[in-house]
């Protein structure tokens, strides 16, 4: 945390300067935010199963006396509506995602989860907040507390958007950000800005931003390679799908050479599902993976080449392949005018030296559905024992817990950074409603 810069003191209304008040209220709620975070971390829920998380969120929002608390939106989505007491036309949507991942929790804290979801499709799975959405949810509850306390001074409306299924629901279900939009979560009032953040392996308390695509476009891919089942001792009596699968996996490594090396692309197969046995050549093998493109325009080409690769590799071995693309998510795009408008706020919250430009990544976040519709911003919040090297890249601090990527079982986020998330949400919300965080040109 940094001292408030000149300009926020000396309130003409004679009371406490608003940004100081937001910071004071954030400090007051900080311990509670840590407690919420630890509780959520210990009780993680998979995408589209955020029953208890959503209940906790709704209960807290109701306790704050918000004007409305809407629940059950696109599954377990919750939207709290806070109308400020002062006149204002603007509406800011602050968003947190609530779901956890099918990853064992090896974060090493006393509040590590031991949860197993036995009923989830494809499971049972160990469950943990390996992407840090527990931090997002707790920080936004903290911001709701701060802003509800300051509602007399708010010139506009704040929507607290708690989103389910950011990590992608089971393929047989709908869910996530787009489903919330389609369910009418933003039908009224319509946001004039959306804001989201993500905890990340950057130095603690740093805000990373990028003009352009912060995150890439994403598509889930399912490839089913079909042969003909037979006895393991007589493969020639059937069609073995395994060699075709091997060819597809190897060939994927060559797809990169068909896209400009200056716009990164990844295709990863993270899950292979077969129906064979050591003495049975199985009928089918299903590959599950993800396609990420830094530039959305590359997506169609990569999908096309991957489909060709799978179909023809399978054909070479007498098998067939079907390729489907599911759960497409557009890139998270920060426009230049919005970033320019947001930088003074970020610098006030964390200090100028801690606001850094970062490269884009091929992660995805379906907050893009909100930011691209309503305008707004998305930033990274550093939460690990890191520092920046001479080229601006995060490197581990000696003696610290190291750099651990999201989705790794060892992923961790320091409790001390949560209050920074609270302050970011609160300052962004106030500044937008007050008209100081508004893009000058159409964004
Ligand atoms: Zn994630
Ligand atoms: Zn995430």
| Cα distance between residue 314 and residue 241, in whole Å | 7
Distance 131 CA to ligand 2 centre (A): 5
Tally the residues of the chain.
Answer: 443
What is the C-alpha to C-alpha distance for residues 109 and 154, in angstroms, rounded to an integer? 38
Class of domain 18-216+331-434: alpha beta
Give the pairing type, strands 386-388 and 212-215.
Answer: unpaired
Distances (CA, A) of 344 to 10, 264, 428: 18, 31, 10
- Is pLDDT at 435 greater than 50 in this prediction? yes
Q: How far is CA 317 from CA 164, 269, 271, 322, in A?
A: 42, 20, 22, 15
At residue 5, the pLDDT reads 44
How much distance in Å is there from the Cα of 132 to the middle of ligand 1?
Answer: 8
Instruction: Give the pLDDT band of residue 10 (cuts 50, 70, 90).
Output: very low
Instruction: Return contacts of 8-16, CB within 8 angstroms, 24+ apart.
Output: 8/348
Residue for token digits 């130095």? 203
Q: Average pLDDT in the 171-179 region?
A: 95
How many angstroms separate the alpha carbon of residue 24 from the centre of ligand 1?
Answer: 31
Q: What's the CA-to-centroid distance between 357 and ligand 2, angstroms?
A: 20
Do domains 18-216+331-434 and 217-329 share one topology? The answer is no
81 CA to middle of ligand 1, Å?
A: 26
Q: Tell me, what's the pLDDT at 15?
A: 62
DSSP strand pairing (91-97 vs 193-203): parallel
In tens, the pLDDT along 314-337 reads 999 999 999 999 999 999 999 999
Cα 344 to middle of ligand 2, angstroms: 26
DSSP 3-state of 35 = helix
Six-digit token string for 344 = 């003074």
The rounded percent of the chain whose pLDDT value lies above 90 is: 92
CA dist., res. 273 & res. 286, Å (int): 5
- Sequence spans of domains, the chain: 18-216+331-434, 217-329
Which pLDDT does position 16 carry in this prediction? 79
Q: What percent of the chain has pLDDT over 70?
A: 96
Q: How far is the CA of 38 from the centre of ligand 1 (A)?
A: 18
Mean pLDDT of 287-313: 96
Residue 430: pLDDT band with limits 50, 70, 90: very high
Average pLDDT score over residue span 399-423: 97
Closest C-alpha among 408, 376, 382 to residue 395: 382
pLDDT at res. 8: 43
Q: What is the Å distance from ligand 2's center to 200 Cα?
A: 9
405 Cα to the center of ligand 1, angstroms? 10
CA distance 399 to 192: 44
CA of 409 to the centre of ligand 1 (A): 12
In this predicted structure, what is the pLDDT of residue 360? Answer: 84
CATH 3.30.70.360 fits 217-329, yes or no: yes
* pTM of the predicted structure, to 2 decimals: 0.91
The residue ranges of DSSP E strands in 304-415, in sequence order, are 320-329, 332-334, 355-357, 376-384, 386-388, 394-396
Q: What is the pLDDT of residue 359?
A: 85
Range in 8-17, 56-65, 248-257 the model is least confident about: 8-17
pLDDT class of 219 with cuts at 50, 70, 90: very high
**Residue 417: pLDDT band by 50, 70, 90 thresholds?**
very high
Mean pLDDT over 379-398 rounds to: 95
Q: What mean pLDDT do residues 172-196 have?
A: 96
How high is the pLDDT of residue 1? 42
Segments of 369-442 assigned E as strands = 376-384, 386-388, 394-396
């Amino acid at each position: 945390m940094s001292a408030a810069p000149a300009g926020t003191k000396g309130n003409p209304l004679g009371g406490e300067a608003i940004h100081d008040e937001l910071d004071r209220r954030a400090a007051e709620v900080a311990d509670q935010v840590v407690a919420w975070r630890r509780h959520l971390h210990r009780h993680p829920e998979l995408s589209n199963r955020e029953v208890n998380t959503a209940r906790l969120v709704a209960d807290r929002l109701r306790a704050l006396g918000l004007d409305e608390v809407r629940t059950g939106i696109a599954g377990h989505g919750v939207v709290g509506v806070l109308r400020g007491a002062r006149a204002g036309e603007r509406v800011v949507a602050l968003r947190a995602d609530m779901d956890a991942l099918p990853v064992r929790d090896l974060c090493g804290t006393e509040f590590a989860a031991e949860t197993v979801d036995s009923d989830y499709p494809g499971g049972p799975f160990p469950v943990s907040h390996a992407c840090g959405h527990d931090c997002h949810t707790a920080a936004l509850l903290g911001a709701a507390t701060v802003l509800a306390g300051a509602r007399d001074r708010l010139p506009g409306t704040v929507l607290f958007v708690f989103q389910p299924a950011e990590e992608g629901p089971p393929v047989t279900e709908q869910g996530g950000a787009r489903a919330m939009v389609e369910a009418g979560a933003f039908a009224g009032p319509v946001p004039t800005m959306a804001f989201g953040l993500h905890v990340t392996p950057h130095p603690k308390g740093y805000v990373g931003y990028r003009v352009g695509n912060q995150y890439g476009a994403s598509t889930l891919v399912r490839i089913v390679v079909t042969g003909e089942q037979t006895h393991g001792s007589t493969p020639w009596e059937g069609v073995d799908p395994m060699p075709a699968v091997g060819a597809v996996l190897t060939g994927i490594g060559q797809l990169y050479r068909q896209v400009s090396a200056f716009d990164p692309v990844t295709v990863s197969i993270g899950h292979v599902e077969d129906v064979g046995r050591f003495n049975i050549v199985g009928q089918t093998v299903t590959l599950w993976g993800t396609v990420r493109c830094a530039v959305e325009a590359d997506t169609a080409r990569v999908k096309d080449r991957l489909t060709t690769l799978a179909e023809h590799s399978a054909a070479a071995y007498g098998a067939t392949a079907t390729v489907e693309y599911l759960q497409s998510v557009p890139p998270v795009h920060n426009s230049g005018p919005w970033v320019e408008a947001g930088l003074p706020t970020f610098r006030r919250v964390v200090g100028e030296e801690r606001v850094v430009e970062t490269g884009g990544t091929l992660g995805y976040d379906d907050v893009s559905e909100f930011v691209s519709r309503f305008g707004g911003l998305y930033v990274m919040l550093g939460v690990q024992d890191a520092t920046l090297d001479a080229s601006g890249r995060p490197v581990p601090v000696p003696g610290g817990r190291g750099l651990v990527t999201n989705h790794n079982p060892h992923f961790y986020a320091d409790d001390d950074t949560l209050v920074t998330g609270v302050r970011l949400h609160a300052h962004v919300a106030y500044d937008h409603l007050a008209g100081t965080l508004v893009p000058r040109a159409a964004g």
